[in-house]
Homo-oligomer: A and B are copies of this chain.
């Protein structure tokens, strides 16, 4: 390097100064400093350090099994059969589970989930996904060739963004994302060096999206970048709203008029709890708006095995459906995913079961429905409970948790708390959440990790702790908030 006249940095090739500056700019609050501190505290508790609490309650991440939700029996039976096909002759497994396992194994090279699949995913799984989408969308056709299986939804979202980002300076791709957003988006955009264009959701009307705000964000962005993509998260993360059909139509019309590529993150499509709310897929609404839209608007929509009733995050299963993609671009997409060979095959198998669950005349149907309903019913209860108990605390206000797995309440922080946070170089809600963690063991994510209107403060809390633990959490949180408010008033 000395030949180049560049001084070596403290002897290391790779330092914070020499590393990729885009990576340095990446932030991901869901596993940020709060969670690192929570891990430390758990270790301290194990080592016998005295704390005002006996356990850390993690409500920072949508990780259902970690919070005690049990796996759905049918899914795991089929996965065991696929892993160890000798079990196919074992009488303890129901016939429908065996039939699913046989079909998946037949789709695998050499009949083994240890073989690479096609890079786009196993064909039989893509067929089942397409049939599932058709059924979900009232018969609107879905082509298995437009389905790409992925390593969780995150993988597919980043892949799509990768294709979309180009240009330099004022021609650099701008990507519209909601504020508050799920920080995968801001992280991916930072990594790719794309321009993040935030549009604010309207907290006053249950985190709804209005197109006026989209127009504002877009025209402002056009002064310094080239906005080409509009990302929607529905049901919302971290905000828990469910978009109305009318709103989706407005968004599609806006995307069509303004020539924006639509990315619809719909991983919480089965997590809808509020009466009167219903999930409408962007694909369905787009197709029902007629050929002017359905033949032109480019759409990628995303789903995952990590959420809904199954919560199988560890398997990293997911898919994306693309619509109206330019054929050359589609070939490029297929090439790009082939470099990583294939998504994990156990995750593909799991996805197959999610989109092709036991049917009414099959032996596993009754138990499957019972288990699934119990999870969804309980999540709905916890959504209402969280909203109700949070709103009962003076200084906290929370929109209804219409869907997804999170509430995102607004918290009023006294001016002296803001000053103290500032003096410590912390965002005020980070200061709040860190204090909460140290005093109560409750692990939440500060609103600043998702974005929020200036001068407002929030946190994201999952509704995943079991009901009794959630009640304890909410009561501790109430007491903490009152103490905190008193201390800094």
Residues of A within 8 A of B (CB): 1, 3-4, 6, 8, 10-16, 18-21, 23-24, 26-28, 30-32, 39, 61, 63-71, 76-77, 79-81, 83-84, 87, 90, 92, 108-110, 112-119, 151-152, 154-155, 162-166, 171, 183-184, 187-188, 191, 219, 222, 226, 228-229, 258-261, 296, 298, 310-316, 324-326, 328-329, 332, 335-336, 338-347
Task: Please give 17 more A-B residue pairs, beta carbons under 8 A apart, in addition to A28-B335, A65-B112, A314-B345.
Answer: A1-B259, A6-B226, A13-B260, A14-B228, A16-B326, A19-B329, A20-B162, A23-B332, A28-B339, A31-B338, A31-B341, A76-B84, A108-B314, A113-B314, A114-B312, A152-B341, A316-B341
Contact between chains at B19 and A314 (CB < 8 Å):
no
Among the interface residues A13, A27, A118, A260, which one has the most CB atoms of the partner chain B within 10 A? Answer: A13
Assuming the A-B contacts A31-B119, A114-B312, are A166 and B66 also in contact, with contact meaning beta carbons closer than 8 angstroms in the complex?
no
Contact between chains at A117 and B339 (CB < 8 Å):
no
Provide the bound-state CA to CA distance between A12 and B330, in Å.
13
Contact between chains at A184 and B339 (CB < 8 Å):
yes
Contact between chains at B184 and A114 (CB < 8 Å):
no
> Which residue of chain B has the shortest Cβ distance to A317 in the bound complex?
B344
Of all A-B residue pairs in the complex, the 7 with the closest CB atoms, nearest first, are A66-B109, A314-B345, A80-B84, A65-B112, A66-B115, A31-B338, A344-B344
Q: How far is the CB of A345 from chain B (nearest CB, A)?
A: 3
Partner of A83, one of B76, B119, B261, B310: B76
Provide the bound-state CA to CA distance between A316 and B66, in Å.
22
Contact between chains at A325 and B110 (CB < 8 Å):
no
Provide the bound-state CA to CA distance between A314 and B79, in Å.
14
23 A-B pairs with C-beta separation under 8 A: A13-B260, A14-B164, A14-B298, A16-B328, A20-B163, A21-B166, A28-B338, A31-B119, A65-B115, A66-B109, A76-B83, A79-B84, A80-B83, A114-B312, A114-B313, A115-B314, A151-B344, A187-B339, A188-B339, A313-B342, A315-B346, A316-B342, A344-B347
Provide the bound-state CA to CA distance between A110 and B61, in Å.
14
Contacts of A61 in B (CB 8 A): 116
Assuming the A-B contacts A152-B341, A316-B344, are A63 and B115 also in contact, with contact meaning beta carbons closer than 8 angstroms in the complex?
yes
Contacts of A1 in B (CB 8 A): 226, 228, 258-259
Partner of A164, one of B19, B171, B316, B339: B19
Provide the bound-state CA to CA distance between A187 and B340, in Å.
10
Contact between chains at B66 and A77 (CB < 8 Å):
no
Contacts of A229 in B (CB 8 A): 13
Assuming the A-B contacts A71-B112, A109-B66, A314-B344, are A261 and B13 also in contact, with contact meaning beta carbons closer than 8 angstroms in the complex?
yes
> Which residue of chain B has the shortest Cβ distance to A188 in the bound complex?
B339
